[in-house]
Amino acid sequence: MLDDQDRRLLRQLQASDTLNIGALAARAGMTTATVSRRLARLERDGIIDGYGIVIDWRALGYSVEVSLRVTLDKTYPDAFDAFIAAARKIPQVFEIQTFLGRVDVRLNLLARDMAHYQQLYRASILTLPHIADIEALMMVANVKNSESLAL
Amino acid sequence: MTDLDDLDRRLLAALQLDGRASAGALGRALGLSQPATWRRVRRLEEAGVLRARKVRLNKAALGFGVTVFLGVKLAGRGHVSLDDFERAVSAIPEVQLVQHVLGRYDYRLRVVARDLPDFERVLRRRIMPLPGVGDVESNVLLSEERRPGPIGV
């Protein structure tokens, strides 16, 4: 179970963009040894899944981000598995989500520009198996983007 | 725009798997010295490519069992201030993501809640009463997979 100190540490941890132990300790009002010990326990208990990075794709020349909302032809029993396995092979797909609702699968796709998007859409996306319907939402701006939980 | 060489790509790929990996550990995996690795990481940070290192928390283990994506269409466009809507919706703690989009909807929201009744509370009490909210579509997230993205191409 989590105690108040764990929650305080987790709140600081999810707000941190550097994961620097010294800075975390200062903000949570703990020693670095306490922070390290508690992090190790939270990792072991599966509260912390791991650590990753945020890449700014625009800085790498990817200025177009499109959310492709896909409805699958479910008369094929392996429609989901076959579709997702094929989507994983497209490097520009950086998120694959499955849903309960009107949309079955959503692919988040990065492209350098509209011409590149058009080419990816025709050559890689429309050739994926078992698509019944597909609809695109083009990202204009990220107004808020936070993984933070209300702990 | 920053061009990556092969070592940069392998560094970013390794950091995607462990964002807390030290320069020493990364260097050993890539056959680089610790200072050379540190300089490369520093350069990627300064170029804005490596924007942040983030923890990945286990939502379910922390009691957040439901993630829902909402497509929101604003009603009576022209009368509604997008700024007002964006400010109000961003202030809701359960709303993690607010994206202005083009297409069938005007906004995409990612909402994290404890369970379905909790989600319903957020939807009815916090989101539906916001100024200008028209048509709303909910899709409950079943699974989510983050891919490395186009680092290597």
Provide CB contacts within 8 A for B32, sequence distance 6+: B7, B26, B40
Looking at the partner chain, which of A52, A110, A135 has a beta carbon nearest the beta carbon of B104?
A135
pLDDT in tens, A28-46: 999 999 999 999 999 999 9
Distance CA B70, CA A43 (A): 31
- Which CATH number fits the domain that encloses residue A18? 1.10.10
Cβ–Cβ < 8 Å for A71, A104: yes
Strand partners, A72: A131
Prediction pTM value: 0.91
Its CATH architecture, for the domain B60-140, is 2-Layer Sandwich (3.30)
Interchain pair A18, B93: CB under 8 A: no
Instruction: Look at residue B85 in the predicted model and tell me its pLDDT.
Output: 93
Distance CA B35, CA A30 (A): 30
Distance CA B15, CA B37 (A): 12
Least confident of A96-110, B6-20, B71-85: B71-85
Are B6-46 and B60-140 the same fold in CATH?
A: no
Q: Do A132 and A62 reside in the same domain of the chain?
A: yes
Structurally, chain A folds into a number of domains equal to 2
Q: Do A100 and A126 reside in the same domain of the chain?
A: yes
Q: Do A13 and A80 reside in the same domain of the chain?
A: no
Please give the full DSSP string across A18-76, using - where no structure is assigned: S--HHHHHHHHT--HHHHHHHHHHHHHTTSEEEEEEEE-GGGGT--EEEEEEEEE-TTS
Domain residue ranges in chain B? 6-46, 60-140
Q: Does A106 touch chain B (CB under 8 A)?
A: yes
Looking at the partner chain, which of A88, A142, A144 has a beta carbon nearest the beta carbon of B95?
A144
Rounded to 10 deg, the angle between the B23-30 and B34-46 helix axes is 110
Q: Do A101 and A67 reside in the same domain of the chain?
A: yes
Interchain pair A149, B59: CB under 8 A: yes
Instruction: Look at residue B2 in the predicted model and tell me its pLDDT.
Output: 78
Q: Hey, CA dihedral for B123, B105, A139, B9, is it positive or negative?
A: positive
Distance CA A62, CA A47 (A): 33
Give the pLDDT band of residue A146 (cuts 50, 70, 90).
Answer: confident
φ/ψ (deg, to 5) at A34: -65, -45
pLDDT tops 80 at residue B78: no
Comparing C-alpha atoms, which of A58, A108, A80 is closest to residue B101?
A: A108
Q: Which of B26, B53, B55 to mutate to test the interface with A (most CBs of A within 10 A)?
A: B55
A151 lies in some domain: no
Please state the ipTM of this predicted complex. 0.90
Distance CA B108, CA B72 (A): 6
Comparing C-alpha atoms, which of A146, A104, A99, A147 is closest to residue A129?
A: A104
* Overall fold of domain B6-46: Arc Repressor Mutant, subunit A (1.10.10)
Q: Do A66 and A128 reside in the same domain of the chain?
A: yes
A144 lies in some domain: no
- Which CATH number fits the domain that encloses residue A117? 3.30.70.920
A contacts of B18 (beta carbons < 8 Å): 50-51
A51 lies in some domain: no
**Residue range(s) defining the domain that contains residue A125:** 57-138
Cβ–Cβ < 8 Å for B12, B44: yes
Strand partners, B109: B70, B98
**Residue type (1 letter), A6:** D
Distance CA A16, CA B46 (A): 18
Comparing C-alpha atoms, which of A151, A119, A121 is closest to residue A136?
A: A121
Give the pLDDT band of residue A147 (cuts 50, 70, 90).
Answer: confident
Among chain A residues, the shortest Cα distance to B151 is held by: A91
B contacts of A137 (beta carbons < 8 Å): 71, 101-105, 108
pLDDT in tens, A80-136: 999 999 999 999 999 999 999 889 999 999 999 999 999 999 999 999 999 999 999
Strand partners, B138: B70
